[in-house]
Amino acid sequence: MLQKYRLLALCAGASLLFACAKPDEAPSAPAELTTDAQKFGYAIGVDLGNSLEPVVAHVDVAALKQGLDDVSSGAEIRLDETAREQIKNAVSQKMQEEQIRKRDAAAATGAAEGKKFLAENSTREGVETTESGLQYEVITEGDGPSPDASDEVTVHYVGKLINGEEFDSSIARGQPVTFPLNNVIPGWTEGVQLMKTGGKYRFFIPSELAYGDRGAGAKIGPNQTLIFEVELLGINKAEAGAE
């Protein structure tokens, strides 16, 4: 986290600050970008602006420009190195605490929404609930064998949040996926074993059988209940005695 705030010091080496500023505070851009120096300066400004986006709410742009001006003009630096490190560390800590509060709030919301959804979903006709809390419904029943947890399976799938937002799809990529069934989230490991080859099921996976309070990437937040439509295309049986 602190490394992001060290980017503030890089602004002292840039000749353009408009990318670091808020829209109503941005300095005027050059009328044209014709020379290499203008283009190079603009490119640095854009890179810095993108890098500083996570902290711009904590930055006083006028003071940022003053720091650049003081370095460029050789004026006395108003904060010594110790003071500069202290304030960067303080702001870094503040932002970390803000992120923790936001994540805790998102986790609480995700857990509550998931619990409510699963309670209502369990009453729908055709939805079955296993002992673990996994819910499923049969879209199409297969007529082939069922896999064991140690098997490798090939599937097509679509993954959604309970609000209907799609976060992953092998169908959209146009390519099924093959993986060891014991090397995925518990809800998949349990659920796919209920299927027969050629079948298609819809799984409603509680967060504790999915990614829990850690979430996954940018799209799956903490304590999110997930919905997967899974079509079991094939099974590669594990060799006897194989680990």
**Where in the sequence numbering do the catalytic residues fall?**
157, 167-168, 185, 211, 228
> What is the Cα–Cα distance from 205 to 1, expressed in whole angstroms?
32
CB atoms within 10 A of CB 149: 13
Q: Which amino acid is at 221?
A: G
Q: Name the token pair of 4.
A: 């992001």
Buried b (16+ CB within 10 A) or exposed e, 70-104: eeeeeeeeeeeeeeeeeebeebbeebeeeeeeeee
Beta bridge partners of 220: 216
CB 168 within 8 A of CB 218: no
> What is the Cα–Cα distance from 168 to 223, expressed in whole angstroms?
17
CB 158 within 8 A of CB 166: yes
Parallel/antiparallel/unpaired status of strands 135-140 and 200-205: antiparallel
Q: How far is CA 98 from the centre of its chain?
A: 17
CB 206 within 8 A of CB 133: yes
Q: Which one, of 233, 76, 207, 84, lies nearest residue 145 by Cα?
A: 233
